[in-house]
Copies of this chain bind each other. A is one copy, B any other.
Amino acid sequence: MKDHRNLGAYFDGENFNITVWAPLHDQILYKPVKGRETEMDKKGEYFFLKLDESVDGDLYTLDIDGTILADPLSRFQPTGVAGPSMLVNTSKYKWSAARWEDHPVDDHIIYEMHIGTFSPEGTYRGAENKLQYLKDLGVTALEIMPLSQSYGSRNWGYDGVFPFAPSYSYGTPSDLAHFIDKCHMLGLSCFLDIVYNHLGPIGNVFPSFAPYFSNKYSTPWGQAVNLDGAYSGGVREMLLANLSYWIEDFHFDGFRMDSTQNIYDSSPRHFLSEVTAHVQSLSSRLGRKVVMIAESDKNDASIIRPAEKCGLGFDAEWADDLHHAFHSYTTGERTGYYLDYGNLSDIAYVLEHGYLYDGKYSNYLKAVRGTDFSGEKPSSLVVALQNHDQIGNRALGERIASLVSFENLKLGASVFLLAPFTPMIFMGEEYGETSPFWFFMQTDDRKFAENVNMGRKREFKDFDWPDKIRDPSSIDAFLESKLQWKDNTQNRCILALYRDLIQARKDFIQRSDRLGWKVSSDGNIIRIFYPKTRLGVLHNFGSVPIEVSGSVILNTSSEKYGGSNTNPRIIAEPGSVLTLQS
Contact = CB atoms under 8 A, between A and B. Distances in A.
Contact of A302 (B264, B268, B301): B268
Nearest to A216: B218
A231 B366 contact: yes
Total copies of the chain: 2
Interface stretch (A118-126, A367-375, A545-553): A367-375
A268 B228 contact: no
A215 B300 CA distance: 22
Contacts of A216: 217-218
Contacts of A264: 217, 266
B367 A229 contact: yes
Given A230-B365, A231-B366, A371 B261 contact: no
Contact of A233 (B266, B269, B299, B368): B368
A310 interface: yes
Nearest to A307: B310
Q: Is the interface of A mostly helix, strand, loop or mixed?
A: loop
Contacts of A242: none
Contact of A268 (B215, B268, B371): B371
A264 B224 CA distance: 15
A232 interface: yes
A448 interface: no
A228 B367 contact: yes
Of A231, A267, A299, A301, most B-chain CB atoms within 10 Å? A267
Interface string A228-242: 111111000000000
A370 B266 contact: no
Interface string A16-56: 00000001000000000000000000000000000000000
Interface string A349-390: 000000000000100011110110000000000000000000
A232 B367 contact: yes
- Shortest Cβ-Cβ A-B pairs, 7 listed: A310-B310, A230-B366, A268-B300, A268-B371, A231-B366, A232-B367, A233-B367
